[in-house]
Amino acid sequence: MPSVPKVARIAISLPKELLARIERERKAAGQTRSGWIRRALEALLAARRKADRVAEYREAYRRMPETPEEIAESTALLADAWKDLPWDGPAPGAREGR
């Protein structure tokens, strides 16, 4: 038998206009109020986690950016990998005569 997740009941206060918007959205989606709000909060938390990861990545890159040598090597590898693809024109970063 699958386990039932534990839930906690809470009471929140919302402006009437916000509640009316939520009610319209959740009814149109055919969802319960609790389910709609739960999914909205899960989406908000996921978006914040993603934003935090992006910020961490940017900060790490700022602290240790690619070197000119790494960029040149990556460009050469991409040009080699893409050279036989049926595209019009040279691959991005490809040099004439290579």
| pLDDT recorded at residue 4 | 76
Polymer length in residues for the chain: 98
What b-and-e string marks burial along 22-34, b requiring 16 or more CB atoms within 10 Å of the CB? eeeebeeeeeeee
Mean pLDDT of 60-85: 92
The residues spanned by each domain of the chain are: 16-82
Confidence at residue 24, expressed as pLDDT on a 0 to 100 scale: 97
